[in-house]
DNA sequence: CTGAATATGACCGACCGTCGGTCAATAAAA
DNA sequence: TTTTATTGACCGACGGTCGGTCATATTCAG
């Protein structure tokens, strides 16, 4: 048989090799030739593995997000209070650890708005479901323990999208949003409202 | 002396002439030549008024948003309850009337994330301030009337960004968000929590 | 007062460079 | 020999520029 490369694997390698480039430069400034050179492949080869630059960004976000989620799940075990567990979810938006991923995620969202492709939609939907279930489980536990009012369950979707919304808004405005502080403040105020003991 | 045209005015005319084109096609598919042809000007002339395609989108969003805000303020006078007034703010995200503007706004956000320019940031910041003040005033009235708990004031920023977040999320996912229903449900639940009578 | 000369900015599209995407040729493995 | 992977030369589309043209307001000589 002829040469057989693991296409899936090579995709990942190419994407990873371009990480710094993709994080540092705006995608529009990056040329395919530059990408190929960075990954140490020919320009034509790039097209064997990706349809365009967006797919490359997408692959990388996918890759890093998976790793990120794994780390987060580990951390979740360490969190004690319900409030802390929920805040852990939002920390993606400001923690130093995830800053590269955030830069890429931002570009990914932009593309998803500009020229959505099914794979992107599927990915975003899966992300939503993943985090929704996460938060749902935490809230359910809180309700079961009698800590939280049952109405807390109805707030999950809004709370989730609030995070993304504040993230986007903080990137597109200047001086009106302090992401970490505003996110945590909102969560605290909501918790104050749905914790039974405060009633 | 030579012909002198009102540059500001002509910018608006060009932008307005391209509205349908910009709403219907993805920006990346549109060429400058096409824009020039649609607006009935030469390609070179386009560059006399805009630096690039993004500026054109921006001008149009700006224009339509101003008109939209004016209409909204008029409607606000008709709304009765505090809850209704707040919901009026969110209706931008789903009302038929604003659908063209939303399509453009979506593209605008994408550019603001992809390659932010100061003018875009300023515009978004101004939009934020405008709506923030609006909501703030309504909430303040509600508190003054004794309808709402004072903590309601602390939720404004989160509530505002939740709207944008749910909007973005609904565009980037499939089947998990019903924008109108989810927005209104969240608002209702929050109101149930911050209205004094429900305590 | 008139109209010819002139100055100036609006307008334009031919041209140029860049870059995304293709494909014919090559290499290498089986 | 066949099949697969790789490559960079090549092509055409498109963004952006620039020199030239045109329309009109102003000026001033007659």
Judge whether A125 is closer than 8 Å to chain B, CB to CB.
yes
User: In angstroms, rounded to a whole number, what is the distance separating the alpha carbons of residues B113 and B175?
Assistant: 24
- Rounded Cα–Cα distance for residues B189 and A62 (Å): 34
D6 C1' to B27 CA distance, Å: 34
- DSSP symbols for chain A: ------HHHHHHHHHHHTHHHHHHS-GGG--HHHHHHHHTS-HHHHHHH-SSHHHHHHHHHHHHHHHHHHHHHHHHHH--SHHHHHHHHHGGGT-GGGHHHHHHHHHHHHHHHHS--HHHHHHHHHHHHHHHHHHHHHHHHHHHTTSB-GGGGGGHHHHHHHHHHHHHHHHHSSSS--HHHHHHHHHHHHHHHHBGGG-
Per residue in B116-154, pLDDT (tens digit) is 999 999 999 999 999 999 999 999 999 999 999 999 999
Structure tokens at B150: 């004072």
Three-state DSSP at B95 gives coil
Domain with CATH 1.10.10.60 in chain B: 1-50
> pLDDT at position B196, please?
82
Q: Residue A161 and residue B171: Cβ atoms within 8 Å?
A: no
Which protein residue lies nearest to nucleotide C9, measured between its Cα and the C1' atom? B2
Which of B26, B115, B162 is closest, CB to CB, to A26? B115
CATH of A1-50, one of 1.10.10.60, 3.30.70.980, 3.10.150.10, 1.10.287.3510: 1.10.10.60
Residue-wise pLDDT tens digits, A126-180: 999 999 999 999 999 999 999 999 999 999 999 999 999 999 999 999 999 999 9
Q: Which residues pair with A148 in a beta bridge?
A: A195
Comparing CA positions, the residue from B69, B14, B129 lying closest to residue A176 is: B129
Rounded distance between C-alpha atoms, residue B123 and residue B68, angstroms: 15
Of B155, B159, B174, the CB nearest to A125: B174
Which CATH number does A54-198 carry?
1.10.357.10
Diameter over CA atoms, chain B: 74
pLDDT at B73 over 60: yes
Q: Where in chain B is the domain with CATH 1.10.357.10?
A: 53-198
Put simply, the answer to whether A113 touches B124 (Cβ < 8 Å) is no
pLDDT (0 to 100) of residue B24: 96
Quick one: tokens of B125?
């910041």
Is residue B25 over pLDDT 90?
A: yes
Write out the residue limits of the CATH 1.10.357.10 domain(s) in chain A.
54-198
Helix (H, G, I), strand (E, B) or coil at A148: strand
- Greatest CA separation for chain A: 72
Contact A113 B116 (CB under 8 A): no
Q: Which pLDDT does position A33 carry in this prediction?
A: 97
- Residue corresponding to tokens 């995709």: A11
Chain A, 28-47: which have a CB under 8 Å from a chain B CB? Answer: 28
Q: How many angstroms separate the CA of residue A11 from the nearest CA in chain B?
A: 24
Q: What ipTM does this complex have? A: 0.93
Within 8 A of B120 by CB-CB distance, chain A residues are 172
Which nucleotides along chain C are within 7 A of a protein C-beta?
7-14, 18-24, 27-30
Output the CATH code of domain B53-198: 1.10.357.10
Q: Which residues of chain A have pLDDT under 70?
A: 1-5, 197-199
What pLDDT score was predicted for residue A198? 64
Mind telling me how many Å the CA of A101 is from chain B's nearest CA? Answer: 14
* B30-56 pLDDT tens trace: 999 999 999 999 999 999 999 999 999
Report the pLDDT value the prediction gives residue B3, as an integer from 0 to 100.
77
Whether B178 has its CB under 8 Å from any CB of chain A: the answer is: no
**Are B171 and A113 contacting, i.e. CB atoms less than 8 angstroms apart?**
yes
pLDDT above 70 as % of chain B: 98
pLDDT at B5: 83
| Residue A139 near residue A152 (C-beta atoms within 8 A) | yes
């Amino acid at each position: 048989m002829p040469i057989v490369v693991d296409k899936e694997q090579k995709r990942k390698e190419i994407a990873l090799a371009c990480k710094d480039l993709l994080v540092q430069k705006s995608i529009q400034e990056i040329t395919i030739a530059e990408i190929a050179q960075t990954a140490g492949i020919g320009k034509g080869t790039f097209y064997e593995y990706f349809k365009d630059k967006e797919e490359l960004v997408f692959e990388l976000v996918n890759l890093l997000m998976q790793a990120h989620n794994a780390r987060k799940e580990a951390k979740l075990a360490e969190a004690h209070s319900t409030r802390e567990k929920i805040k852990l979810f939002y920390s993606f938006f400001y923690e130093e650890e995830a800053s590269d991923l955030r830069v890429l995620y931002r570009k990914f969202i932009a593309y998803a708005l500009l020229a959505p492709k099914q794979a992107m939609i599927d990915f975003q939907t899966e992300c939503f479901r993943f985090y929704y279930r996460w938060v749902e489980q935490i809230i359910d536990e809180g309700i079961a323990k009698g800590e939280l009012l049952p109405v807390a369950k109805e707030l999950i979707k809004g709370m989730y999208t609030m995070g993304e919304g504040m993230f986007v808004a903080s990137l597109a405005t200047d001086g009106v949003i302090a992401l970490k502080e505003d996110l945590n403040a909102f969560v605290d105020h909501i918790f104050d409202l749905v914790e039974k003991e405060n009633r």
